[in-house]
Amino acid sequence: MFKRSTSSITNLKKLSVIIVSLAILASVFIGSFKSDNFVKRSDQAEGIGQFAQEMEKRWLEGDVEELYEKKSLICPEFISNDTKVHPSYFQCNPYYMQCFLRSLNKKSSGSRFQLEHTSFDENGNLIASFKDKKNKGPLSLKFKDTCSKIRLKPSVYSASPVEGEKYVWDNIGQSIDIDAHYVNNGEVLIWANKINLTLPDSPKHAPSTNLSHVQKKLYCAFKGGQLLQSRQFDAATFLPAKASNNFVYKFPYPWSKRKDAIDRLGKKNCSKIFSKECSSEEYEYHSTYGASWSGVYHSLGSFIESFDNKFLPLAKYKMSSKDFALDSPWHRLGVRGSDESDKEIHLYNGGGIRMPEKELRSAFRCVYYR
């Protein structure tokens, strides 16, 4: 059973209510009251606070009724009903939330709060504007995504698949948050609309693979972050190992410390690594394939992914993907591809691997420094 969690902190202040939690920032503007009676105003504020908490809970939990799975979530402009999508996709999802709020309007004609319109702020956060029919004033809720990131544990790490001290680094004293999943087309569309950028029509739930490297950086900046560094992805996916005199031991697979772990999978194991052998199975978007110890998904397999790389800028692609069979040398943590020919990439990978002769379309993630 997929687990969902919620949390909430509520603060009341005279004629305005600010509800702050890890997931939702709700700014409430209350119109003038017909009575100066303090009890009446408190009751009205309490009603607003309760509604905001209910919306926060829905934002955090998503499609708890599993309407999508039952093909009963009807919002074609927001959500496609014909694709396999993991339940976590609907958590902290502005498209699902807009769909839910519209349905709430239809079902609750007697509700105190009526959705009037939605928009996105300068950072891509959903703003839902309501009419408070009880006191004739407006109500605005801002929803912030706190469902999709993991925090990288402060420690000593090492990049690339090569053991040793050459690519050792640490994040001691830093707070580094990483997207657990690929950035999807729906998220990118919000940014593109802000800057009047026309993008190909693509399913909102699918990973964004049409942006240039520069555009990926611009998107992450819009979200308040940067394009994920290759070394940070390595830190989040290599199984933790104790560092000794700046020497970090590395294991090539995220699910086992065995060097031959991939050979022991059998013909395929799509949950651990969605490889070419899984092509007969329907791909589940926003899935938990390739889970790592840190909570980052698609450590290996799924889509080719691009990063920035501080140690070797040209080594920017995680080539391990559903395009390659399990016996491919790309299916090892830390291994990187490049669209430039350079002997340095061989040293970085600990050996040469032939790049495919095709244009690379890659997914990506962002990193956030707090």
Q: Do 229 and 298 share a structural domain?
A: yes
Domain boundary at 73, 108, 143, which? 143
CATH number of residue 350's parent domain: 3.90.1580.10
Q: Do 173 and 101 share a structural domain?
A: no
Domain boundary at 143, 177, 198, which? 143
Tell me the mean pLDDT in the region 69-92. Answer: 91
Q: Do 302 and 160 share a structural domain?
A: yes
**Who has greater pLDDT, 178 or 49?**
178
DSSP state of 86: -
Question: What tokens appear for 245 in the block?
Answer: 């005199």
Domain boundary at 111, 143, 175, which? 143
Q: Do 180 and 293 share a structural domain?
A: yes
C-alpha triplet 297, 300, 280: angle, nearest 5°:
95
Q: Do 158 and 134 share a structural domain?
A: no
Q: Do 366 and 260 share a structural domain?
A: yes
Contact 226, 308 (CB under 8 A): yes
Q: What is the pLDDT of residue 108?
A: 59
Four-point Cα dihedral 322, 328, 334, 335, nearest 10:
-110
Q: Domain tally for the chain?
A: 2
Question: What tokens appear for 194 in the block?
Answer: 């802000």
| Distance separating alpha carbons of residues 10 and 154, to the nearest angstrom | 31
- Structural domain range at position 75: 9-143
Q: What is the pLDDT of residue 23?
A: 43
Tell me the mean pLDDT in the region 288-311. Answer: 98
Q: Do 66 and 17 share a structural domain?
A: yes
Question: What tokens appear for 8 in the block?
Answer: 């909430």
Q: Do 206 and 96 share a structural domain?
A: no
Q: Do 270 and 170 share a structural domain?
A: yes
| Distance separating alpha carbons of residues 228 and 231, to the nearest angstrom | 9
256: left (phi over 0), alpha (psi -120 to 50) or beta: beta
pLDDT of 6 over the 60 cut:
no
Tell me the mean pLDDT in the region 192-207. Answer: 96
Stated pTM of the model:
0.87
Question: What tokens appear for 11 in the block?
Answer: 């603060």
